[in-house]
Copies of this chain bind each other. A is one copy, B any other.
Amino acid sequence: MPTKGRGFYPVTDPVQNEVRRSGLTHGVAVLHLQHTSASLLIQENADPDVRVDLERFFERLVPDGDPRFTHTTEGADDMPAHVRTALTAVNLSIPFAHGRLALGVWQGIYLWEHRTRPHQRRMILHLMGE
């Protein structure tokens, strides 16, 4: 999937649709993002300020252009993107029941792009169950 640069991209609906399409009713959806500079995150899906504040917090915690980083091949946001990914996750395992992901009412699944420029990202979904 394409991203337009740093930020949160909702993926709950496509994952839920795949679960429905599979015909499985009870099991686990395993999501794996094939990258080291973007994450998968479960976070609040209501107030968008939560995502704004998350972004700001991580920008302070892992500043772009920090002179102490040596891996800067692709620019000031290169190494910070790797650190943010290490601090979060690239795979998730979410149970589903009666054909629906067992997410809480406030939980959404997001692809969190850490690079400032647009990227093409690839997420693998493996469903197990019956």
Contact = CB atoms under 8 A, between A and B. Distances in A.
Interface in A55-69: 56-57, 60-62, 68-69
Contacts of A69: 53, 56-57
Given A42-B90, A47-B73, A52-B70, A122 B104 contact: yes
B82 A30 contact: no
Count of identical protomers in the assembly? 3
Given A53-B79, A71-B50, A106-B35, A27 B86 contact: no
A92 B86 CA distance: 13
B34 A103 contact: yes
A88 B87 contact: yes
A28 B83 CA distance: 26
A35 B107 contact: yes
Contacts of A87: 87-88
